[in-house]
Structure 1
Amino acid sequence: MTEPPLPFRIINWIAIIDQLTTTEGNRLLKPLGLPLPLFVLLNHFSRRPEEARTVTGIARALQQPQPGVTKNVQKLVAKGWLRERVHAGDGRSKLLVLTPAGLAKHRAAVAVLTPGLARAFGDWSEKDQQVLFALLDRLKLWFDADRDRP
């Protein structure tokens, strides 16, 4: 039997790593009361914490169904980690903003996740890590740009 094509094998490895890190991430985040899907949302907001977003925009950016995003956003609002405000341009939707408590929870989660990730790269040089990051960033940017292709 022949090996699948290299592009398939690369993406398959990324998917396996995703599964392994998702399981470990959920285990580590449980004591914080922060399931991984909620962490993903906080992580999305933390990149530009002052920027207000709509559920529709979040669902599109994360490529997730809007009802699921709405449910998770409601959980974050109930915990005080996101704040809703009226959308001046569209009375049917609300704008969501990361709260200081949400940013603090995100930072606490990153602190909990970092030691295990550091162990994974313990015998990697800084240069190897930067090269890997650059290549993965290139791949992410391609997939991000290609997402709306018919």
Structure 2
Amino acid sequence: MNEIKKKPSNDQKADIPSTDFRIINWIGIIQQLTETKMRQLLEDTDVPPPQFILLNHFSHRPDEGKTVSGIAAAMQQPQPGITKTIAKMLSKDFLRTEENPKDGRSKTLFLTETGKAAHFEAKNRLEHGMQNTFDGWHEWEKRDFFGFLDRLKIFLDDNR
């Protein structure tokens, strides 16, 4: 028996998410899945995900000092949470402090050799644990995909 296909009503059309929404929604789901995997992979290390994220932030410019307020702004996180994570990292010698020459009330934070080594080990564990994520992908697909993600990241960063 032939089914008669009806055109969607205006109400039904409103229920179909736009491609823009679907992309952002998928990114949120991917973020949740990768954060769970990261927690699992770093579970028995001395670098839990919040500390890895900050070590990663410092590793991009390892000789550049950062303030807690600057890190909180860059991470778009509340300062008390960043302060708590940094205190743990200071106690592990992942970071060191110096007087802030621009503001005597705050300290400037720097990545230490211990912090660099901890980042290196955690990054290697994550890379190894997620190495099959792109099995079956061609190099050009990964490069194109990264290019699109980079474009989106730059837009979102510029339009906070």
TM-score by length of 1: 0.95
How far, CA to CA, are the matches of 1:130 and 1:117 in structure 2?
17
How far apart are 1:115 and its partner, in Å? 2.1
How far apart are 1:32 and its partner, in Å? 1.3
- Asked whether 1:60 is paired with 2:73, we answer yes
1:1-150 correspondence runs (5 A):
1=12, 2-147=15-160
Give the CA RMSD over aligned residues.
0.9
3-state SS, counterpart of residue 14 of structure 1: helix
How far, CA to CA, are the matches of 2:130 and 2:37 in structure 1?
10
How far apart are 1:109 and its partner, in Å? 0.6
Structure 2 unaligned blocks of 5 or more: 1-11
Question: If you compute each CA radius of gyration, which structure gives the higher value, 1 or 2?
Answer: 2
How many residue pairs get matched? 147
| Superposition misfits of 4+ residues, deviation over 3 angstroms | none
How far apart are 1:19 and its partner, in Å? 0.6
How far, CA to CA, are the matches of 1:110 and 1:3 in structure 2?
39
1:100-135 CA-partner distances (Å, limit 9, x unpaired): 110111010111011233201011011100101010
How far apart are 1:60 and its partner, in Å? 0.5
Structure 1 unaligned blocks of 5 or more: none
For residue 84 of structure 2, what is the amino acid of its counterpart? K
How far, CA to CA, are the matches of 1:39 and 1:103 in structure 2?
11
TM-score by length of 2: 0.89
Identity, % of aligned pairs? Answer: 48
How far apart are 1:10 and its partner, in Å? 0.4
For residue 75 of structure 1, what is the amino acid of its counterpart? K
